[in-house]
Structure 1
């Protein structure tokens, strides 16, 4: 290696360590934070869709496992996520000339409480919501319902991750 290569290597090492550990997901996790816990998100929506409470709890857990190197624990986690599903609503968004729905929207909202033992200032209670639009002539059943719920959960879990760990 030439002297120029050593300078570039040293500069890169100093830059990366000065900025803390870099994460491709944008997570900013305290070095003392080792574990996370996701408590069961009960479905308290007026319109109850069976099974989405467990599906959401698992989706959030899976995202945290995949995007951090924290250990998932059942109790006494350094980071704790808890809350409830507060809205599951299907509503028309556009109408046709004969007053039928041309498009419907499934909206799911989840209230989240986030606790951080290492950084209490980052704690919050916040409502996260997202929607999925589908053709008004379709029934929200089977693969359409699965696709809609997965798309909504993908967005909401990423929003929760960003708010709690990326602090966006």
Structure 2
């Protein structure tokens, strides 16, 4: 019993030290945001894809804001901020993923969304944490897209905003 207590105490100490840092804040959400970063500005992401879903721009922009709001301590502002996100939705495609046997109909379809994102960390004088990158995610579905499109978009937006957040704040 005493040995178990010592092992538990040592493990607790190691974990405590692992999550301590100088100048960078780590959390269980996977992010490492510099202590001096206080504000973020997320610009509206216009949909310039050839195929358009009417509410995608608004839903994506709000989804990214919500991801940052729920997983960081950053205050969202309009105008100049310590961190800035802007970009465009460049792709919204529905393609066949699998064909039915003895038919030319799709048994499974794939909805793919691509977003081009520019991230600027104005506190990083070297510019090493800044990036411009495209992010793509998809979901497969069967049946008609019209009945599932809103749900599919929500799921893909969650994946995209997670990728973007992790790239900006966890450097993944």
Shorter chain as normaliser: what TM range?
Answer: 0.7 to 0.9
Does residue 121 of structure 2 align to residue 125 of structure 1? Answer: no
Aligned counterparts of 2:166 and 2:51: Cα–Cα separation in 1: 28
Deviation digits for residues 108-139 of structure 1, max 9, x if unmatched?
0000000001122100000000011001xx21
The equivalent residue for 1:33 is 37
Q: Distance in 2 between matches of 1:10 and 1:148?
A: 43
Equivalent residue for 1:159?
163
| Unaligned segments of structure 1, at least 5 residues | none
1:17 aligns with 2:24: no
What residue in structure 2 maps to residue 78 of structure 1?
82
2:154 is paired with a residue of what secondary structure?
helix
1:113 lines up with 2:118 in the alignment: yes
Shift of 1:10: 8.0
Richer in helix (by share): 1
Aligned residues: 160
Within 2, Cα distance between the matches of 1:125 and 1:38?
14
Counterpart CA distance in 1 for 2:19 and 2:107 is: 52
Give 1:21 deviation, angstroms. 3.2
User: Using a 3 Å threshold, how does the CA distance of structure 1 residues 73 and 15 change in structure 2: closer, same or farther?
Assistant: same
Secondary structure in structure 1 of the residue aligned to 2:32: coil
Note the C-alpha offset of 1:17. Answer: 3.3
Structure 1-normalised TM-score? 0.87
Q: TM-score, normalised by structure 2?
A: 0.85
Alpha-carbon distance between aligned partners in 2 of 1:131 and 1:141, rounded to the nearest angstrom: 16
* Cα shift readout 1:8-56 (whole Å, capped 9, x = no counterpart): 7988766543465331112111111000010000000011111100110
